Amino acid sequence: MQGKRVVVLTGAGISAESGIRTFRDNDGLWENQRVEDVATPRAWEVNPGRVWRFYQARRRQLSEVEPNPAHEALAELSDGLEHMVLITQNVDDLHERGGSQDVIHMHGRLETLRCEASGRYERRMKDSDLVDDFLECDCCADPQRVRPDIVWFGEMPMHMNEIYAVVDACEVFMVVGSSGHVYPAADLVHIAQANGAHTILVNAEPPLNVDYFDEVHLGMAGELLPGLVQGWLAPSG
């Protein structure tokens, strides 16, 4: 990988190994809630209190989990390469706490809240910011209600122009812990492969798009990635 342009995309599986539940269980529920009830613009319109309490509980959970060896291995990989971009579908801060910098969060972030009026986001993680009552912004002269700074189903993911540009240009594209169910993230491997990139998968089980990967490593990312990274960073010859 040395000297090559590397892009890494991570999904819910890497966070699950730290104890954060994946966004959708086998029964179709998201942490015992229907996705339609807590993760769509319509849900926020119809019952904002339920949506707010759901995300406040997820925000409080951040203090109960820690980065795992997979997060730390990706930070080590980034430090050892000249050109690496880390994109995540996850909304937690485990990559940053594991040592990674400049992470692209395509589905938003739990640590930040977004003003409904201005669209600006603020990092709000004090104890007083984690209550079940609605909060107001700090950016408007007349403070407005804030919403979770999360991309809900039916909304456009963030930073897509930047993401498409780096995937178009990459020479190695690696996916860690992603089911291949969620679009447009699941399409990125197709774009990378079509442009001649070497594609690598590290996942607990084969995802829907497994056939698009040149190199497949099945197992827990926290167990596999540290050794893989050591090999990728080892001097050749």
> For residue 5, what pLDDT is reported?
97
Count of CA atoms in the C-beta half-sphere (13 A) of 149: 24
What local confidence, expressed as pLDDT, does residue 35 receive?
A: 78
Q: CATH number of the domain at 1-20+67-107+157-237, please?
A: 3.40.50.1220
| pLDDT of amino acid 23 | 53
Lowest average pLDDT, out of 27-41, 50-64, 170-184, goes to: 27-41
pLDDT at site 20: 85
Determine the pLDDT at residue 163.
98
Catalytic residue of the set 71, 95, 107, 181: 107
State the average pLDDT for the chain. 93
21-64+109-150 in CATH: which number?
3.30.1600.10
Does the pLDDT value for residue 142 go beyond 50? yes
pLDDT at 208 over 90: no
Place of tokens 């798009």: 209
Q: What is the pLDDT of residues 5-52, one digit of tens each?
A: 999 999 999 999 998 865 555 544 455 677 788 999 999 999 999 999
Question: CATH 3.40.50.1220 spans which residues of the chain?
Answer: 1-20+67-107+157-237
Q: Where in the chain is the domain with CATH 3.30.1600.10?
A: 21-64+109-150
Q: Is 107 a catalytic residue?
A: yes
Q: What is the mean pLDDT of residues 159-163?
A: 97
